[in-house]
Structure 1
Amino acid sequence: MDSLGYDVLPRGRHHLTREQVVASQRERLLQGVIDAVAEKGYARVSVADVIKRARVSRETFYEHFTDKQACFLAAYDMAAGLMMTVVAEAAGTDGAAMERFDRAVAGYLRALAADPARARTFLLEIYAAGPDAAVRRFEVQRAFVELVDGLLRDDGRWAALPDPAFATRMLVGGIASLVSAKIAAGEHTSLPALRAPIMAHADLLLNAAR
């Protein structure tokens, strides 16, 4: 295993299928762009930076992606999908709505704190990757809003708010802002501590519906 957690392909003859080789190369490129962007910032990263970290050739890079942005957006899509899975699995299906939301928030914050490179790349650097990247970021946030809204509407108090959908958008947007500020300041290890004030704010919103 290499330092990033991906297997280095063996030199010379091996028993891997072509599909396995291609999948490994792609994974390494996605992790390479994540780490390069986290270290240098999207604007300063070159294809050379990515292939150096991925340990593949320039030819291999262009077999997978047309340019740096295409690689970055593919990595963003992968990370967003993984985060959605983390949050959904943390919430689970048992318990009251607010208990499930609490678990979802805790899982989200833990995951970001455990991977500062990915957190910085996809919460801050995404906006440096152009209009298409910004649209992708808003689409991902919309998906998180839908997930959270589905959780909270199981609580009758949330459903009784004047505009529960708007309240959910404000809540998710506020969480994103708080998290981004911590990451920008290099305080990713303190992210789990946001759980308590986030839940306290959600409780205030519920109490307003009484």
Structure 2
Amino acid sequence: MNWKILEERSYTPYSREPKACIVQGSSGAYYPGVRIENVSFPLTIPAIQAACCVCLADGDIPKSVIMKHDSYLEQLDFWTKEFDLEIKIQSGIDDILFSDPFVYIEPSEVKPELIGLLSDAITIHSNFPVSTLLLTAGGYISGVNIEVSDWTNGLCAERLTIAKAICYGIGDFKSMYLHTLKGEFSSPCGACRQVIHEHLPDNEINFFHADGTLSVHYTSDLLPLSFSSTSLTK
């Protein structure tokens, strides 16, 4: 691994300005972070936000952030203060290894896996845990919603799961599954629908509801007349 390879995982078709960092958790594990843009610019996920939220979703606590000497990271001040992160400047990251991000389960195990994941959610504001699984060509990627002291700097489960896959260099998304134990109908928020549309534009999105039922939808159902622009180059 080197900075060029990690930066190339960034999804920056609009600015063409890739960003990357690595967060090390208290467990000693490393978590990659890259910038993930959206056609709706305010929904862009900075590299350090992605890495810290994935770290937290994995049950770890961010302890340090590794970055290039000439790198500028959006939200760096917030995350360093939130977790008292040590900032490490490294020109080489050849010795850093990332863990396997996949969850190895059979399709019949999706629902119990989603139920089990709910306990990993950090919901200090909403008390509304959500879990997701993203099916890719290589397997399932898991995620939960993460809330921190500033509500706006957390990530919903759907966006976190997509961000996690991109940060680990995983593509070819097939479908998404989500679950919550609260509410009458499990459904992504508007921001998540926009991000889902960016990366799974015509895919199957499966909702496991609190009453145990399943409903199957497509991205076009979730976000009709979605925002896109031919004036923005991808």
Shorter-chain TM-score: what band? under 0.3
| Greater relative contact order, per chain length (Cα 8 Å cut-off, separation 6+) | 1
Higher percent of residues as helix: 1
TM-score by length of 2: 0.26
Larger radius of gyration: 1
TM-score by length of 1: 0.28
